Amino acid sequence: MAKMKVVVLGAENDSLAYERAEMKGLDVEFVQAKPKSDGEAMEIVRDADAVMLRGDWGREPIINATTKCQVMAVYSHGFNHVDVESLNDKGIILTNGSGMCAEEVSNQAVTFILALNRQVVQSTNNMRKGIWDRASYLPIEAIDEQVLGQIGFGNIGRQVVRKMSGWRMKTLVYDPYIPPWIIKEHNVEQVFDLDELCSRADYVSVVVPLNDETHHMIGEAQFKKMKKSAFYVNVCRGPVHDEKALIKALQEKWIRGAGLDVFEKEPVDPKNPLLQMENVITAPHIAGTSTRSAWLSRQRAAQQVAAVLRGEWPTGAQNPIVASKIKGRERSKGRSPAAAPGLK
Predicted local confidence at residue 316, as pLDDT = 94
Q: Is 168 a catalytic residue?
A: no
Q: Is 266 a catalytic residue?
A: yes
- Interval 272-281: pLDDT, tens: 999 999 999 9
3-state SS, one letter per residue, for the chain: CCCEEEEEECCCCCCCHHHHHHCCCCCEEEEEECCCCHHHHHHHHCCCCEEEECCCCCCHHHHHHCCCCCEEEECCCCCCCCCHHHHHHHCCEEECCCCCCHHHHHHHHHHHHHHHHHCHHHHHHHHHCCCCCHHHHCCCCCHHHCEEEEECCCHHHHHHHHHHHHHCCEEEEECCCCCHHHHHHCCCEECCCHHHHHHHCCEEEECCCCCCCCCCCECHHHHHHCCCCCEEEECCCHHHECHHHHHHHHHCCCCCEEEECCCCCCCCCCCCHHHCCCCEEECCCCCCCCHHHHHHHHHHHHHHHHHHHCCEECCCECCHHHHHHCCCCEECCCCCCCCCCCCC
Q: Catalytic residue, from 216, 285, 292, 329: name it.
A: 285
Q: Catalytic residue, from 266, 278, 330, 335: name it.
A: 266
Predicted local confidence at residue 344, as pLDDT = 36
pLDDT at 336 over 90: no
Q: Which fold has domain 4-100+291-331?
A: Rossmann fold (3.40.50)
pLDDT at 337 over 50: no
The pLDDT > 90 percentage for the chain reads 90
pLDDT at 343 over 70: no
Predicted local confidence at residue 133, as pLDDT = 95
Asked if CATH classification 3.40.50.2300 holds for the domain at 102-282, the reply, yes or no, is: no
- Interval 45-90: pLDDT, tens: 999 999 999 999 999 999 999 999 999 999 998 899 999 999 999 9
Q: Catalytic residue, from 237, 241, 298, 300: name it.
A: 237
> Taking the domains of the chain in order of start, what are their residue ranges?
4-100+291-331, 102-282
Q: Is 285 a catalytic residue?
A: yes
